[in-house]
Amino acid sequence: MESTRYRPLAAVREVLFILLALVWCIPFYYLAIVAVKPDMEVFTAPMSFPSTIVLGNFAEAWRGTGGVGLGEALLNSVIVTVGTVSLLIFLGSLTAYVIARNTQRIGGLLYVFFVVGIILPYQMAIVPLFSSLRSLGLVGNQIGMIVLFTGLLLPMAVFLYAGFMRALPHDYEEAAQVDGAGRGKIFFRIVFPLLRPVTATVAIMTGMIVWNDFFLQLIFLNGSSAQTLPVAMYGFVGEFTARWNMVFAAVCISIAPILAFYLFAQRRFMQGFTGGIKS
């Protein structure tokens, strides 16, 4: 009787979910059809299926606009993203371990300090950041962007790692201490292997932020040979017009690597994110 009573409600719920899924698919449909349209059809019939599928848009987008090609920009994005994520995993996990295992007041104060770092908008410090990096010769290269993103995203990494570590049992660490193991050995041999779920979360969340960022990379990389994908795609947008089919083709190319990585690590992403929130 219970299943019969709730069956109509379940059917309505499923219909609503299907409609919602279709709504979510509209941007992807628009992205796909505009990416293969001829130039004129982008403006004359933007929502219709293209009369001629132009796969050459992807090749032209890959070549770029005469400056940095999309292939070189893709490599720059990979370097900046991988470098930033690697540093965040290393520094974030070590910092969070100190905070999570410190029972004194200083541990709580450090945790609050990093949480405040998540809340504060970095835009209000963009001028001193630019001045500092320029004085160090780090404007217009990948190393500068790696340092910048690491500093800005470290609070998020510490927050996720610390939340996950507080839920881990101390038994293995205490046993290793009895056997004479130092703090460094305990962390790298015992604790860090247990952090794989939250490490995947940190890698995906921060990697997506770095990969998709446009504002900071436009300011710090514009006009240099270290341009990343978002800045290179901006080259298709002119002062009076834009080649949106080229932009959309470049977007299709740019989302492929990050989407593949997310699909590969999505299970660990959810495990780590849930662990961080629970704590």
Q: Which domain holds residue 31?
A: 2-35
Q: Are residues 106 and 179 in the same domain?
A: yes
Q: Are residues 121 and 13 in the same domain?
A: no
Q: What percent of the chain has pLDDT over 90?
A: 28
Q: Which pLDDT belongs to residue 6? A: 54
Q: Which pLDDT belongs to residue 226? A: 87
- Residue predicted with more confidence, 213 or 166: 213
Q: Are residues 241 and 104 in the same domain?
A: yes
- Other CB atoms closer than 10 Å to residue 198's CB: what's the count? 30
Q: Which pLDDT belongs to residue 1? A: 47
In a domain, 96, yes or no: yes
In a domain, 57, yes or no: no
Q: Are residues 31 and 149 in the same domain?
A: no
Is the pLDDT at 179 greater than 80? The verdict is no
pLDDT tens digits for range 40-64: 888 888 788 888 888 888 888 888 7
Q: Are residues 24 and 76 in the same domain?
A: no
Total domains, the chain: 2
Per-residue pLDDT averaged across 180-203, rounded?
A: 84
240 in helix, strand or coil? coil
149 in helix, strand or coil? helix
Q: Are residues 15 and 76 in the same domain?
A: no
Single-letter code of the amino acid located at 91: L
Q: Are residues 27 and 129 in the same domain?
A: no
Q: Are residues 217 and 260 in the same domain?
A: yes
pLDDT tens digits for range 87-137: 999 999 999 998 888 777 777 788 888 888 888 888 888 999 999 999 999
Per-residue pLDDT averaged across 206-221, rounded?
A: 91
Q: Which pLDDT belongs to residue 153? A: 95
- Dihedral over Cα of 228, 230, 233, 234: its sign: negative
Q: Are residues 27 and 163 in the same domain?
A: no
In a domain, 45, yes or no: no
pTM of the entire predicted model: 0.80
Q: Are residues 216 and 96 in the same domain?
A: yes
Mean pLDDT of the chain: 84
Q: Are residues 27 and 71 in the same domain?
A: no
User: Confidence band (pLDDT; 50, 70, 90) for 275?
Assistant: low
In a domain, 14, yes or no: yes
Is the pLDDT at 279 greater than 70? The verdict is no
In a domain, 93, yes or no: yes
CATH number reported for the structural domain that contains residue 183 in this entry:
1.10.3720.10
Instruction: Tell me how far apart the alpha carbons of residues 153 and 162 are, in angstroms, rounded to a whole number.
Output: 14
The alpha-carbon radius of gyration of the chain (Å, integer) is 23
Q: Which pLDDT belongs to residue 268? A: 62
In a domain, 127, yes or no: yes
DSSP state of 234: G
